[in-house]
Amino acid sequence: MHLMGTSYVNMNMSGTVVDRSSSRHHTDLRGKIHPSVALNIAATMGVIAGRLSSTGVRLNTRLYTATAVEIALTLRGFQMMKLDLSLPHSRQEIFAYK
């Protein structure tokens, strides 16, 4: 039996901060976070019958996700704080095998 696994993690982040008035504490923060994670597993199991023949089974499995979140935060002193989160609306495939 043989088992091998590989993985990777990637994180992209970007954003801006705008301080409109330092005396009134008016601040706007906008950002985007895009994580990507994958895990690949390959397993093989086989039988060798001398020099005559051999047989085996192989299974490849992949688990991954790649989504994005957009964040907007607005501060207007101590009177108002507004937080907007934008999540993806499309379907994400997170498991594949062959």
Per-residue confidence (pLDDT) for residue 88, from 0 to 100 = 72
Where are the chain's structural domains? Answer: 2-97
pLDDT tens digits, one per residue of 11-64: 888 888 888 766 677 888 899 888 888 888 999 998 888 888 888 998 888 887
The predicted structure's pLDDT at residue 96: 57
CB 27 within 8 A of CB 20: yes
Burial 49-88 (b: 16+ CB within 10 A, else e): eeeeeeeeeeeeebebeeeeeeeebbbeeeeeeeeeeeee
Between vectors from CA 52 to CA 50 and to CA 54, what angle results, nearest 5°?
75
pLDDT in tens, 77-97: 778 889 998 877 665 666 555
